[in-house]
Amino acid sequence: MDVGELTLSELSRNLAAHGLPAEVRGDGDVRIRGCNTLEGASAGEITFFANPKYRDLVATTQASAIIMKADPTLKSPVPQLICDDPYRALTLAIIRIHGYRRHPQWGRHPSASVAETAKLGRNPNLAPGVVICDDAVVGDNVTCYPGVFVGPGAVLGNDVTLHPNVTIYDLCRLGDRVTIHAGTVIGEDGLGYAPVGKKWMKIPQAGAVVIEDDVEIGANCAIDRATLGATRIGTGTKFSNLVAIGHGCQVGADCMFVAQVGLAGSVIVGRHVTIAGQAGVVGHITIGDDAQVSAQAGVNSPVKAGSMVLGAPAAPVAEARRRYATFQKLPEMKTRMRLLEREIAELRQAVAAIRGEADGAELPVGDAPTSDVR
């Protein structure tokens, strides 16, 4: 794939070739060498406008061009690429101009340790300090950065990339085009202990982890191996950093987990589920297809397909918003409650006085209240 500098007109043709027509308005010969934000862009860079929050920055950007939707009310001081999906257009522009990460090429470095019984595919790219253990199978065009460990019997598909210090435990399986970032561990023992009196007996974690094709996992994640069977991450799923997956979980295809998400053991997650940052899910429940879990949610019951939940404990959006609206009024409600309690106490004293019950005293004879006293 060609990458590097090009004109605005050439970028327009490139977007059209990817099914995204983009009209050039202004000088199509302006040259673009990079992409940047509205605020950060300088001459030679292209930026984009998609969020109304940043509308005022369009007039002041120092970029050489801007990607945006047609908007007759918005005047840009620089040439524009007009299209229906500026965010997608920017993504394609970044790919065309900057390209994807280019890996160093080590070949099979002399200090990489590859067991005699391991099987390497074509074009291995193994950095210094890589360890490939007995009976491991490594596919074609696999890149392993320094410190990668691939355990006995583990399988890596074609075009896999493992960044520095990734650990793949024994018998775990990775599909094709899987990318795992630095420090992540795949296949460590899950939290499996049986109570024996007041002590805990370790349950052997005899399962494995299966990661299907086109999965990308961020830095410092941990995916437990199953006690029996396999923990599974579905095709096309993407994890941010610091994601923890408990043993026996089944995560469907094309999910998106943001940083610090945690699933306890044996959770079943459907297809195309989004779980936002710092959300936690208790074990042995199901989250349906296309569900959305909001940031910092505490999910302790099943989530229906297509629904959105938030809060702790997590609840459907409408219910959770009612809760939060009530929480915000608690200080005022507390003050009003104290006033009401005081008024009630005063009313009780007044009623007791009228009835002759104040301090346990009786009213004198002849002073009894008449029948019209309320």
Q: Residue 325: CA atoms inside 13 Å, Cβ hemisphere, count?
A: 6
Measured at the alpha carbon of residue 239, what is the angle toward residues 235 and 242, in degrees to the nearest 5?
Answer: 145
How many CB atoms are located within 10 Å of the residue 302 CB?
13
Q: Which residues pair with 263 in a beta bridge?
A: 245, 281
Sequence-ordered list of residues with C-beta below 8 angstroms from that of 8, at least 6 positions apart, any chain = 24, 26, 27, 28, 29, 30, 31, 32, 46, 65, 79, 81
212: nearest Cα among 231, 229, 189, 190: 231
**Which member of 18, 103, 163, 247 is catalytic?**
247
Q: Other C-beta atoms within 10 Å of 363: how many?
A: 14
Cα 87 to chain centroid distance, Å, stands at 19
Cis before 79 (ω within 30): no
Q: What gap in Å lies between CA 226 and CA 55, rounded to an integer?
A: 50
103 is catalytic: no
Catalytic positions are: 247
